[in-house]
Structure 1
Amino acid sequence: MQFVTILALAIGLLVAAPYLAHRLRRRQADERAFPPAHLVPAALPKARRRSALEDKALFSVRTAAVIALALLGATPLVRCSRLSLARGGASVAIVLVLDDSMSMRAKDSGRSRFERAREGAREILASAREGDAVAVVMAGTPPRIALAPTSDIDAAKSAVDAAVESDRATDLDGAIAMAEGLLQKQPHVDKRAIIFSDRADGRVDAPVLATGIRVWFAMPDLAKDAADCALVEATRVGALVRTRVQCNHASAFSGREIVIMAGGKKIASSLGPPGSSAGDAPLAMEPTLQLTPEAAADPHDLVAQLTGSDAIASDDLAAVVTQGSPGALAVVSYGRDEAVATGGPPVIEQALAALKTGVPATPLPVVPDRSEDLAPFAGLIVDDPPGLTPEERRAMGTFLDNGGLVLLALGPRAASPPLGASLLPALTQPVRWGQTTVTGIDPKNTGFFGESGLSLENVEARGRTTLADDDQKAFDVRATWKDGAPLLLKRAVGRGEVWVVTLPLSADESDFPLRPAFLTLLDAFAAETISRASPQRTEVGLPWLLRGKKVEGKGPVADADPTKEGPPLTLVKDGPMSRIVPGLVGAYVFTIDGKPERRVVAPAPREVDFRPRKVPDAALDAAEGNGHPKMDVSWVLALVLLALFAAELGMRAFFRSRSESNIPPVSVR
């Protein structure tokens, strides 16, 4: 508070003046006997009480008048802390960017940063006028448009009220770019983005945040440090549970331990490495917990938990997942004799290694005859199989029903299977292998291969496979030979998909494996495998695509309590897939065509770093939005002061008239 403000309020000390005046007015003179006094009637007690009431009422009115006078003098110097828009008179177009990332869950003075940010957005909307355009963007990964630009301020208020906290990572760059795109379409001259964020995006060493629009970080005080630890992941390997803990200050782990819970009961615990909780430097550790035989046999899903408390509660729990490789590829090459010619593994394995797709490839001698053996894989490549046995067909059928992907390359072996073998469930009819004089594929039908399709214009082969008409009609043809015969086909089987190539993937039968288009085929198959894989654990904010005719699911509750059942999930249908972007950490349970599937969402480690991102100095200038506007209520106080003076005059006149009317007439004899 400034000195002049204190001086103006000091006028209130004059409230002592009415008090002294009333004290002096109540002083009584010395009583002396006056002989004619017996001629005057005695005053009634109620008159004395009325005089005292009159004095108190006048005293109250005069005191209130002095206080109002002091406030009137200080009003021009008082500023309020409410946010408002600074405008040059014309209407403005604004985008409110609300950061709903995990770091905004941190509480300051009992309120989360997100709650404070949402209240600030409401204050900005309270100063909006007719003609202004408002949009709302959420800055958690991935950035989303909560409300497209509109002049309906009530709709904007509803969008802000509907915004909720999440556990997402922060993407300020993407949110600002989205805001810029929205503002470019507005006809207003004055355009700006008002951002409510703690700027803790884990990129403190990144360059200053670049903005192509007018940006104002309305509440810079949100960027505060706070001690926090996150249980990033917990993975079970047999009787061991490997955990990973990330802390922004080592002291945040002081006095805490990691416990493993099963069915609400503690079955294992660890205090972490000795001395790990000393100092304020960042801390990263990976404690491993041993389960007893009884605990390892517990049928309940395991949950890892950090005891104690810190800035964010939702990252202190982690659902335990079992180690696996659901995104791996299995490669079955029946043409392994070619290894002599190439001087190493089959061409398929060499090509996958060269592509570095990130998908591990496991060579298998034959197609597994048990579905359990195919369960760890998401994709299966089979090169020129001599048919499939009944057991192999059942295993592959289960694999496809569960969403697996199969690439089937057909050659001379596939055309001459032994008795009892067939190519079901991929093909229902036998295939034929024969020599061909056609060289190259149709250049008008190379869209699948892109530019690399030009390398197949003169591809040479000893022969090619021909499918039965009924099978060919069931497939979607993606590439053809120059005579119109199919080269690459696709069709859905169950929740999975089958890709068929009418050439074997062997350099002995054609030069197709030596062309760039061959790498394009494998790269596309690996990418599709990744997209269809069901990872047990992903980082929050990454989308899931679920294939199935009927997909239902339930997610975790907002406070990440594993003992509570979350609400049903809203899935977006995207063709044969159902899409969802999880925004909360914890375990998600789906039912896909009647089959249960469990997935886990982990927090982003960078959200534990509360250090703010660097932004231009102009973006923090309070003058951009009148961060502390003057509060002019002098006219209200002036009216109150006039009313008090009028009340005093009225009360004095009223009580004087009452006093005169109550004096009895004196009779003189």
Structure 2
Amino acid sequence: MTSPTLLAIGFANPLLLWGLAAATLPILLHLLNRRRYREESWAAMRFLLAAVRKNQKRIRLEHWLLLLVRTLLVACLVLALAQPFLESTGAVPLLAGRRTHRVIVLDGTMSMAYAPAGTSRFSRAVEYADAYVQGARNGDAISVLMLGDPPRVVIGAPSPNHAEVRQEIEQLRPTHGTGDVDATLAKVREVLDSSDLPQSEVLFLTDLQGMTWRVGEEDDSALKRAVDELERDRANCVVVDLGDAGRSNRAVVDLALDTPIVVRGGPSAVITARLANFGPEVESGVRAQLVVDGKLGPERRVDLPPGQEVPVAFSYRFEDPGDHVVEIRLDEDRLAVDDSRRLAVPVRDHLEALLVNGDYNPEPFQSETDYLAQALSPSEGSDQTPSPIRVDVVTESQLSRRDLGRYDVIMLCNVARISRGEVGAIDRFLRQGGGVVYFAGDRVQVDEANAAIFAGIPGSEQSEGTGFLPARLGEVVDAGGESAEQLARAPEFDPLGFAHPIVSIYQGAPAQVVAGLTGVKTWRSFDLLLPEGSNARRALAFTDGRPAVLTMPRHRGFVVQVATTADDDWTTWPLHPSYPPVVEQMALFAASGRMSQRNVPVGQPLDQAIPDDAPGASATVIRPDGREEPGQLADEGDDGPRFRFEGTDLSGIYTARLGPAPTRELTFAANPDPAESDPARADDATLSALFPRWTFSRWDGGPVDRTAAASVGRRGELHRALLLGVLGLVLGESTLAWWIGRRR
């Protein structure tokens, strides 16, 4: 830390310093009212001159003394109005030594784990905080907070016990999460409001990482408002910058599988990681290694250009069911936390799909679900690739008697109507992470469907209900029939660049393979009417521009809505080779909600649906640092039985053990926000532009100098002393003027 000057003075109202010009008024009045001398001969003049020469020095001294008192009187009054404060290394304790409420805010975000010389920024922040507490005066009270998302109040009520405060600070550990400066400043204000001490001081120990301090964000109004409110509290704010050292960093910023659901013995999964270089120079020969269940796998070496991301792909075949952990690991650099990224991968024996047949017909391939059932679960002897999905077909009337919790995905095919009880059961199923695929048809009662199962306009009362379809059913668009001439006019599928996971398997495929999808003719379909502001996404469109297949997250699951039928009544799709792989991807995508619950960003709670018969007497979570903490098990009404755990402040693997013996284990992975890997910082110019009305002192957080750290921001307000001085000068001026007049 750069040692401060011996004495530094600031002003809360610096514009009032222009009033110091008024201190010249007594001088001007003195000059204007000086006595004018006139020479005149007089016999007794020599006696008077002798008297004047005898008293001249005394009279002149009296005049200058009176002028000085009046000038000081005006100057002190102006300075008092400007509210000066004193910052020093302990100087002038009589003026600046009142009891102070000191609030220490330690930045606990992931970037504070950066260790340029073997010591992390957070460790240095703890050293500064410890030295600062040691240097506090007897009677000062101290509070401690951690900047995070959410912020953590370590010591809220101001504590005068400095030894206990130092113990609490010593036990602090950084998180691997992000920081919410708005919420942290709000907590600081709450802590300040809880104190009745006459003076307050806030010490920020931070690396000023750009993501935390909102550098580059268009909407920073909330942060500016929080800073303005803190400024109105008249707290002395000091920012100790711990982030100067270190401008380079590489990280694994993303990790994903090419399939939403992994099934034992299925095709090899493609594991793709994205590596980023946040530094200004090329990183050559960076090693990326695949690790599965703790076992080292193949590695790749890549060059990382500055400021860019590079994908690295591996393939792996999962042979055993159960929970697995996939990790991509880099050689450690100065920020080791982001040099690896993990995925918790639950591998299933198979998926369970419930097909609801809305138009039953005993003849082969005349029933609504026949083509779909064959595509998802081919019969023995078929030349299709074995499917990971087991199907259970029921009629529309049997739906209400099924336990939906047994299934991963429900596929509704040309269902005429869905009762209120069935809609409620499907809503509960979605809340537990299940998926729904909806095919239209001629038996659908449109008005009833729009009233009962349309999810509604976002933000409306209906959107808070139990509906689940992303789009309203509009008019049926009819191309006229199945003749060759009419089929030629019928719209085909537009894959929209194969951007959606449902059709991404066709990305880069030969033209003749893609034609099996784009050549599908659909002569009859519903016009799907998306509400404004919908978060639905188009997987396929028709060549006339209308949506053909829509997907939307709903609660913890996903919904897929298809504008046409699952059979060949309205479309040629079931007769094309693209039908089996695409409807399989639909089912896998819809069912992926339960897998996505296993992988969360750091700071987001673990939240997993569990079966009704799961052991539920207790839940214990083993954190990445090895500590064990209790989890929560509860039946949350419509959400069903759930496991929850809030303390995901570290990146890594969390293992939940549920119930008494035999225990059931669930594996989760928490990964850091890649924005925290960017070493870009908020410099002085940026802070001044962001917070033009924030008065704070900024200190360079170099090597810890305990004497200087203890005195960071020590400040005393001098206006009360100046006002006492004004009172004394008023009395002194009156007394002095009376005494001088009396002497004359």
- TM-score where L is the length of structure 2: 0.47
Describe the shift of the 1:553–1:466 C-alpha distance in structure 2 as closer, same or farther (beyond 3 A). closer
- Report the Cα offset of residue 242 of structure 1: 0.4
Deviations 1:206-233 (A, max 9, x none): 4886313236344224343332111123
After TM superposition, list the pairs within 5 Å mapping 1:510-659 onto structure 2.
512-513=451-452, 517-522=461-466, 528-529=555-556, 533=594, 535=596, 536-546=598-608, 549=616, 550-557=618-625, 566-571=626-631, 577-593=643-659, 594-613=663-682, 614-616=686-688, 618-622=695-699, 627=708
1:226 paired residue number:
247
Which of 284, 303, 306 is 2:330 aligned to? 306
The Cα of 1:99 is off from its aligned counterpart by 1.0
Partner SS, residue 251 of structure 1: coil
Cα shift at 1:512: 3.1
Select which of 140, 146, 151 maps to 2:154: 146
Amino acid at match of 1:314: V
> Are residues 1:188 and 2:203 paired?
no
Q: State the match for 1:111 in structure 2.
A: 119
Seen in structure 2, the aligned counterparts of structure 1 residues 162 and 530 have a Cα distance that, compared at 3 Å, is farther
Q: Matches of 2:359 and 2:202 in 1, distance apart?
A: 62
SS of residue paired to 2:666: strand
Separation of aligned partners in 2, 1:239 and 1:330? 22
Q: Which runs of 5+ in 1 are unaligned?
A: 6-78, 338-362, 376-381, 415-463, 468-486, 499-503, 558-565, 632-669
Per-residue CA deviations over 1:558-605 (Å, capped at 9, x if unaligned) read: xxxxxxxx3323436777553323111122222345433222111211
Find out whether 1:387 has 2:408 as its counterpart.
no
* Deviation for aligned residue 1:243: 0.4
How far the C-alpha of 1:523 sits from its partner, in A, is: 6.8
Mark the CA change 1:134 to 1:533 in structure 2 (over 3 Å): closer, same or farther. farther
Distance 1:537 1:465, change over 3 A: closer
Counterpart-to-counterpart distance in 2, 1:573 and 1:233: 31
Letter in 1 for 2:622: K
Provide closer, same or farther for how the CA distance between residues 622 and 243 of structure 1 changes in structure 2, counting only shifts above 3 A: closer
Cα gap change, 1:323/1:405 in structure 2, threshold over 3 Å: closer, same or farther?
Answer: closer
Contact 1:302 1:319 in 2 (8 A): yes
1:139 offset after TM fit, Å?
1.2
Distance 1:179 1:145 in 2: 9
Shift of 1:152: 4.2
The amino acid that maps onto 1:512 is: A
Once the 2 structures are TM-superposed, how far is the Cα of residue 117 of structure 1 from its aligned partner?
0.2
Alignment correspondent of 1:172: 181
The change in CA–CA distance for 1:586 and 1:250 in structure 2 (over 3 A counts) is: farther
Counterpart-to-counterpart distance in 2, 1:567 and 1:251: 39
Q: Please give the alpha-carbon distance, in whole angstroms, between the structure 1 residues aligned to 2:132 and 2:109.
A: 21
Residues 620, 412 of structure 1: CA spacing in aligned structure 2 closer, same or farther, 3 A cutoff? same
Which of 308, 312, 322 is the aligned partner of 1:283? 308
Mapped partners of 1:538, 1:141: distance in 2: 15
For the residue of structure 2 that corresponds to 1:271, the secondary structure is strand
Seen in structure 2, the aligned counterparts of structure 1 residues 541 and 300 have a Cα distance that, compared at 3 Å, is closer
In 2: Cα distance, 1:295 partner to 1:259 partner: 20
Cα deviation, residue 113, structure 1: 0.5
Count of aligned positions: 429
Over 3 Å counting, the alpha-carbon distance change for 1:160 and 1:521 in structure 2 is same
Q: CA deviation at 1:628?
A: 6.1
| 8 A contact 2:653–2:670 mirrored in 1 | yes
> Match of 2:481?
none
CA contact (8 A) 2:324 2:346 kept: no
Secondary structure in 2 matching 1:569: strand
**Structure holding more strand per residue:** 2
Asked if 1:204 corresponds to 2:229, the answer is no
Contact 1:505–1:512, Cα closer than 8 Å, also in 2? no
Secondary structure of 1:141 counterpart: coil
Q: Which piece of structure 1 moves more, 591-600 or 94-103?
A: 591-600
Unmatched segments (≥5 aa) in structure 2: 7-86, 259-267, 361-370, 379-386, 435-442, 470-552, 559-592, 611-615, 637-642, 689-693, 701-705, 713-744
Residues of 2 paired with 1:114 and 1:373: CA distance? Answer: 50
Q: Aligned in 2, Cα 1:263/1:215: closer, same or farther, shift over 3 Å?
A: same
Letter in 1 for 2:251: A
Task: Say whether 1:92 aligns with 2:106.
Answer: no
**8 Å contact kept, 1:230–1:608:** yes
Give the root-mean-square deviation of aligned CA atoms: 5.5
Residue 120 of structure 1 deviates from its aligned partner by: 0.9
Q: Percent identity?
A: 18
**Inter-partner Cα distance in structure 2 for 1:218 and 1:86:** 26
Letter in 2 for 1:136: V
Offset of 1:538 from its aligned partner? 1.8
Cα distance in 1 between the residues matched to 2:297 and 2:319: 6
Structure 1 residues 89 and 588: CA distance shift in structure 2, 3 A:
same
Distance across 2 between alignment mates of 1:511 and 1:297? 40
Q: TM-score, normalised by structure 1?
A: 0.52
In 2, distance between residues paired with 1:517 and 1:299?
Answer: 39
User: 1:433 aligns to what?
Assistant: none
Aligned equivalents of 2:159, 2:119: Cα separation in 1: 31
Deviation at 1:405, TM superposition (A): 11
Looking at structure 1, the residues matched to 451 and 623 of structure 2 have their Cα atoms a distance apart, in angstroms, of 47
Indicate conservation of the 8 Å contact 2:620/2:657, yes or no. Answer: yes
Structure 1, 182-191 or 207-216: larger mean CA deviation: 207-216
Displacement of 1:615 in angstroms is: 2.5
Which string of whole-angstrom CA distances, capped at 9 and with x for unpartnered residues, describes residues 353-388 of structure 1? xxxxxxxxxx9889x99997599xxxxxx9993114
Contact 1:587 1:598 in 2 (8 A): yes
Contact 2:602 2:673 in 1 (8 A): yes
Residue 204 to residue 223, structure 1, CA distance change in 2 (3 Å): farther
Given that 2:132 and 2:711 are in contact with CA atoms closer than 8 Å, whether structure 1 keeps it comes out as no
1:556 deviates by: 1.7
Cα 1:115–1:250 shift into 2, 3 Å:
same
Q: Kindly indicate whether the alpha-carbon contact (under 8 Å) linking 1:490 and 1:497 is maintained by their aligned counterparts in 2.
A: no
Larger Cα Rg: Structure 1 or Structure 2?
Answer: 1
The change in CA–CA distance for 1:489 and 1:522 in structure 2 (over 3 A counts) is: closer
SS of the residue 2:398 aligns to: coil
State how far apart, in whole Å, the 2-side matches of 1:179 and 1:270 are.
47
For 1:619, the aligned partner's letter is F
Describe the SS at the equivalent of 2:334: coil
Cα deviation per residue 1:230-262 (whole Å; 9 max; x = unaligned)? 112333443422001122116373332111134
8 Å Cα contact 1:93-1:188 kept in structure 2 = yes
- Separation in 1, partners of 2:320, 2:273: 16
What is the CA distance between 1:492 and its match in structure 2? Answer: 8.4
Distance of aligned partners of 1:511 and 1:602 in 2 relative to their CA distance in 1, 3 Å threshold: closer
